[in-house]
Amino acid sequence: MSASATGESAPARPLTVLSEEEQMFQAAAREFATKEIGPHVEEMDRAGIFDQELIRKFFAQGYMGIEVPEAYGGSGGTFFMAVLAVEEFSRVDASAGVVIDVQNTLVSNALMRWGTEAQKKAFLPRLCRDTVGAYALSEPASGSDAFALETRASEEGDHFVLNGRKLWITNAQEAGLFILFATINRELGYKGITAFIIERETPGFSVGKKEDKLGIRASSTCELILEDCRVPKANVLGEVGKGYKVAIETLNEGRIGIGAQMLGVARGALEHAVRYAQERRQFGRPIAEFQAIQFQLAQLATDVEAARLMVYNAARLKDAGRPFLKEAAMAKYFSSQVAERVASEAVEVFGGYGFTKDYPVEKYLRDSKIGKIYEGTSFMQLQTIAKAILRLDART
């Protein structure tokens, strides 16, 4: 009896088995990252600025609209393919990985799920062609308590007038389109949250200070300032007062993307460590011949493989239409732990050289730290996992 006959969804593809299309896509993303992104990584990190020509190439190669249907100008791929691209880009540069991650797993996904047909026709082709997107939820007093928003939206005729300030917004320096969350009434709590589509040139909207960060330095992180910013009611994403649903459901998918980013960071650091261990000689032979180094690398490789399976599992579940909340939280939590551990031990494999900017592994260590912080801290992921396995929500 078929799965459809029993009313069950078809089983997801085995985690480690990629279809021919997925294999070709992954290989192309890996080659693109190595040849096109690789030569710019050091300078972008030093300057803290993302190369604009690279972003144009991201658009030209279809990496900014991987999952968007072809009817809206996208590549018509799957969420799993977006995850593969984030992983391969992050293996070379975590900043490049997060640029396409936010574009695909947050901004475009939110529009595809919650947008009206008019909104999809107006904005999705731009996001696939030439417009970078940003996702603006965080505020100075709203981090893990994501819905303690102070940015206000007041109804005036056929517009909403927004006032407030957003903080820690990824891609903000380059973005031309923002999905931004504000409250229509703080007394309503999370039921007052509303999502808005805001174009960069909207009067009363401006991009403020750009943060000088420890890691992912080329990726812009900025504040947003709204001063009597008038947004047409037609630009409400989803329903008024249902912004919390837009945020929660989109961030659940975004966690898988961050898991993929951290997987890529771990892979990149490990590959450098393996290569260096075979080149570096001490006591007359490569350090890779010492059992201590062999065991260290073997443990790291095992951790990376476990992280890969968790990320791929969550992505497969999402594409299969199955519940993935717990698995997404686990993937993000575990991958960020692995990335930091692998990058740290890669520095140790390099010894004193690893502590200098002349070698690449110190950057992987700096880049890895953000994985435990953004799109839900590690503690918030553990809380989500605990609720799922203890069924706490069912008791309240």
Distance CA 348, CA 238 (A): 49
Q: How far is CA 144 from the centre of its chain?
A: 17
Query: What secondary structure letter does DSSP report for 306?
Result: H
Q: Which residues contact 323 (CB under 8 A, 6 or more apart)?
A: 317
Q: Which residues contact 137 (CB under 8 A, 6 or more apart)?
A: 146, 166, 181, 247, 251
CA atoms within a 13 Å half-sphere pointing along the CA-CB vector of 29: 27
Annotated catalytic residue 375:
yes
Query: What secondary structure letter does DSSP report for 372?
Result: G
Distance CA 300, CA 336 (A): 13
| Beta-carbon count within 10 A of 95 CB | 30
- Give Cα separations from 184 to 88, 224, 289 (angstroms): 40, 18, 64
Kindly state the helix (H) or strand (E) to which residue 58 belongs, with its residue range: helix 52-60
Annotated active-site positions, please? Answer: 375
